[in-house]
Structure 1
Amino acid sequence: MMLNCIVVDDEPFALGLVCSFIEKTPFLKLAGSFSNGIKALEMLHDQAIDLIFLDIQMPDITGIQLARLLERQPGGAGPRIIFTTAFNNFALEGYKVDALDYLLKPFDYEDFLRAANKARAYAEMLKPESEVPISSEEYIFLKVEYNLIRVAIKDIVYIKGLKDYVMVYLENTDRPILTLMSLKSLEQKLSSKKFMRVHRSYIIALEKVNSITKNAVNIGDVNIVIGDQYKDAFNEYLSRWL
């Protein structure tokens, strides 16, 4: 997968360095470089860009302000951002605008490549199901703060939605993984043969179900109520085995 990138930085040396790093990375394509955010915005309206390497402290418009202006499309589409900055006090701001990573200057190619690989893994996760290789269906990547965590699908027990976040509960793990994405977008990445939405806030792994009552399923020590709008689909699934 090739990612179209732009670089935005008002420091000529930093701008040139990141551009050179992109050009030596096989899965990145440099679509443009800019010394200010206003010019970058003009290009972003006219061309599809996957990834932005973005400085934070710049004249006219800061990197944080530019990130807030970018409208992310449903399902996580739109350009991802990797901040590049000489100051470490912007990490929280970066997380609030859903930045993919945060590179602290000066950084070398190894640091850059680590962040770029994270962007590639995230892009692979967002591929339509028809484009995902069969081998990659054994796991998914979940964003946790500035990291992408690889999760084996066979370990997922159930998933709970919390507005813009989901909590993924795994076997043999006491604490769930909290990730910034919608329950619907995660549902689209899971096989309907193995997982089922049984409530507006819950997806269950069908093979993890221990028992079923009239209105709920039991998974371990947890009882999950089956929502009214999901009962017909769940009963249809049950009828195949009764």
Structure 2
Amino acid sequence: MMTLTCIAVDDEPLALELVCTFIKQTPFLQLAGRYTSALAALNHLHQQPVDLIFLDIQMPDLSGTDLARVLDKGQPGQGPRIIFTTAFNQYALEGYRLDALDYLLKPFNYAEFIRAANKALAYAELRQKPTEPNPVVTAPAAADDEYIFLKVEYQLVRVALNDILYIEGLKDYVKIHLQSAPKPILSLISLKALEEKLPAKKFMRIHRSFIVALDKIQSVTRQSVQIGAANIPVSDQYKDAFNKFINRWV
């Protein structure tokens, strides 16, 4: 099992002590520092990067969310992962927008703590896997055509590409409609960013708010496509590319 280095940041001494105790009794976590201010933690991170931060939100001088924004500006997606700890549940959505791995609402017990820590471990192992050699792969990036990983709530979820019917964009979020589930899943990613992750031979954007799986289309007109019970419009911006696709049908 891999080991994650981490720091704990909380201006409340008792809360900080509890988190540090939980870290020390978790075999795959290694405590690299404990801080009562986000500014002190930031100084540590400049000198000694870590894998994970257990971070309080309401603190003097620099809040936990402000620290998260500072870290994200350096190398987005490359810095330490964050698990927020707070007594105020109104920050949950903000934590989600800041790409936190999890959100622990005080007072929390060890069972809740280890659940969040396990998410951090799973995320770290997931990021490590692409760099490992795989002798059975004969075609470059073959595995990338089978599934993608998306952040759903506070965890990474593997979504099989052949299970996707269509994707609907909702500002900073997307709704992914699946063949295997009655309800769509919601992920914090823009439609444009998700479009770049999808193979063009399998998916097509036909509207500013919709991407469709080409092999799931049941019928087409010049203005729309039918996938299951959904009739999805084709906007003018994407009609040329869509018409080329239709011409291959006739």
Question: TM-score band (shorter)?
Answer: 0.7 to 0.9
Paired letter, 1:84: T
Match of 1:226 among 234, 241, 244: 234
Post-superposition CA distance 1:71-130 (Å, at most 9, x none)? 458986654421234x3xx1221322323312244432x533421333355567889x99
Match of 1:194 among 172, 196, 202: 202
Q: Distance in 2 between matches of 1:219 and 1:180?
A: 24
Paired letter, 1:143: V
Q: CA RMSD in A?
A: 3.9
Corresponding position of 1:182: 190
Matches within 5 A, 1:117-196: 117-121=118-122, 134=143, 137-138=146-147, 140-144=149-153, 146-171=154-179, 173-196=181-204
Kept in 1: contact 2:83–2:102 (CA 8 A)? yes
Q: Distance in 2 between matches of 1:120 and 1:136?
A: 25
Kept in 1: contact 2:7–2:54 (CA 8 A)? yes
Matches within 5 A, 1:29-68: 32-44=33-45, 51-67=52-68
**Unmatched 5+ stretches in structure 2:** 133-140
Q: Distance in 2 between matches of 1:235 and 1:59?
A: 58
Corresponding position of 1:97: 95
How far 1:203 sits from its partner (Å)?
0.9
Match of 1:211 among 215, 219, 225: 219
When the two structures are superposed, what TM-score results if normalisation uses the length of structure 1? 0.72
**Unmatched 5+ stretches in structure 1:** none
Q: Distance in 2 between matches of 1:168 and 1:158?
A: 6
Structure with max Cα Rg = 2
Kept in 1: contact 2:150–2:187 (CA 8 A)? no
> Is 1:17 the equivalent of 2:21?
yes
Kept in 2: contact 1:140–1:150 (CA 8 A)? yes
Kept in 1: contact 2:150–2:158 (CA 8 A)? yes
> Is 1:107 the equivalent of 2:109?
yes
Kept in 2: contact 1:84–1:105 (CA 8 A)? no
Post-superposition CA distance 1:129-166 (Å, at most 9, x none)? 9998828934534322x455554433321111111111
Post-superposition CA distance 1:26-77 (Å, at most 9, x none)? xx67665433101222345567655321123544444345345554589866
CA gap of 1:4–1:190, structure 2 versus 1, over 3 A, is farther
Q: Distance in 2 between matches of 1:229 and 1:74?
A: 33
Kept in 2: contact 1:19–1:33 (CA 8 A)? no
CA gap of 1:115–1:214, structure 2 versus 1, over 3 A, is same
Task: Report the count of equivalent residues.
Answer: 234
Query: Percent identical across equivalent pairs?
Result: 50
Kept in 2: contact 1:121–1:141 (CA 8 A)? no
Corresponding position of 1:7: 8
Paired letter, 2:149: I
Q: Distance in 2 between matches of 1:204 and 1:73?
A: 34
Paired letter, 1:9: D
Kept in 1: contact 2:147–2:158 (CA 8 A)? no
Q: Distance in 1 between matches of 2:118 and 2:144?
A: 18
Kept in 2: contact 1:199–1:230 (CA 8 A)? yes
